Amino acid sequence: MNKGLGYINIGDAFDGFVLIKEANRGMASNGKPFLTLILRDSSGEIDAKLWDITKEDEQLFVAEQIVKLAGEINQFRGKAQLKILSLRPAQSTDDVHVTDFIEKAPVEKEALMEKLTEAIFEMKNPTMQRIVRAFVKRYQDALLTYPAATKNHHEYVSGLAHHVVSMIALAKELHKLYPQINKDLLYAGVILHDLGKLKELSGVITTSYTIEGKLLGHIPMMVEEIGHVARELQIEGEEVLILQHLVLSHHGKAEWGSPKPPMVREAELLHLIDLIDAKMNMLNRSLEKVKPGEFTERIFALDNRSFYKPLFEEQ
């Protein structure tokens, strides 16, 4: 049986089902058309070329089509590329589904929802609890399926909820170690901080930025929406302002998209927790793909660094 696309090496043969993520027509130097394909399964992606295509090929092999494929892994400009030896579209009898080929959070939606509900239940400040509850109710479906980003970290189905639930666990432990922390405020900040992404990003499968997302960004959109929700719930009091500040400042610096830096203890912590969970997600997933004694690929969002897995690590 095949290893997933995220784990194959140069020289490996490959035989199995994959999903076409993108298909672009090109013209070869011999004047014949070809397709550049990006193929994926739930473990990773790979590029491939399909040479000398016919009109039918062009119509068959399009984005979101599942295909059965045999080939081998070559190297092209220092990157793996799949050389296609044979391919056909999947048929209903193959019993394969688009969702089989998309990366998902390692935790189920129901479990994520349960953790969220539990955290909200723990909160004692009624104002914060009401605001958070209103948001979770309003966005429950999207919150449980959206990725946390289009790339870099938690860029998979349910990625946003997975990120939030991990951060809640971190918040809980930090509160135990530093009891001065206002746990309700930190929980509320964690749950709300990235909800603006539900409007900034276009959806779950082929995620891009909405026009609103490009022109305003998720941070100001969420600050505004907290204002709307507070009006609807007829809530007043400093909680609204402080929650808006937590969302506004959670990128930490103006250069990173926060026009105000954290100026409340829990805002500073929210920024740090966000950072740790994003970094651990990237590090763990990259290191999982290499053996002891090797370096990972360069990780763009970690300053393009490559990480070493020491020889004494056992997988």
Binding of its own copies by 166 (CB under 8 A): yes
Does 209 contact its own copies by CB under 8 A? no
Tokens standing for residue 300: 């763009």
Among 28, 62, 98, 301, binds its own copies (CB under 8 A): 28
By CB under 8 A, is residue 173 in contact with its own copies? yes
Tokens of 243: 């929650």
Among 3, 79, 97, 231, binds its own copies (CB under 8 A): 231
- Phi, psi (rounded to 5 degrees) for 93: -70, -15
Q: Which is nearer to its own copies, 85 or 98 (CB)?
A: 85
- Min CB(181)–its own copies separation in Å: 8
Indicate the Cα dihedral angle 46, 201, 248, 140, nearest 10°.
Answer: -110
Residue 300 found at the interface with its own copies (CB under 8 A): no
Looking at the Cβ atoms of 96 and 282, the one nearer to its own copies is: 282
With respect to its own copies, which residue has the nearer C-beta, 96 or 163? Answer: 163
Site for its own copies in 237-266 (CB under 8 A): 237-239, 241-242, 244-245, 248, 254-265
Span interacting with its own copies, options 76-84, 96-104, 112-120, 141-149, rule CB under 8 A: 76-84
189 binds its own copies per the rule CB under 8 A: no
d(CA 175, CA 145): 28
Residue 86 vs 284, nearer CB to its own copies: 284
Q: Mask 106-135, x = binds its own copies (CB under 8 A)?
A: -------------------x----------
Determine the Cα–Cα distance for residues 127 and 184; give it in Å rounded to an integer.
Answer: 10
- Applying CB under 8 A, the span of 57-65, 88-96, 113-121, 306-314 interacting with its own copies comes to 306-314
On whether the CB atoms of residues 156 and 263 are closer than 8 A, the answer is no
Asked if 79 touches its own copies (CB under 8 A), the answer is no
Instruction: Kindly indicate which of the ranges 54-62, 94-102, 132-140, 298-306 contains the residues binding its own copies, using the contact rule CB under 8 A.
Output: 298-306
d(CA 265, CA 259): 17
**2/263 Cα distance (integer angstroms):** 51
Burial of 42 (0-12, 13-18, 19+ CB in 10 A): middle
Residue 217, amino acid: G
CB-wise, 191 or 226, nearer to its own copies?
226
313 makes contact with its own copies (CB under 8 A)? yes
- Residue of 164, 145, 55 lying closest to 103 (CA atoms): 145
Rounded to whole angstroms, the Cα distance separating 302 from 24 reads 30
Binding characters for its own copies, 34-73, by CB under 8 A (x = yes): x--------------x-x----------------------
Q: N- to C-terminal Cα distance for the chain?
A: 21
Q: What is d(CA 101, CA 18) in angstroms, rounded to the nearest whole number?
A: 7
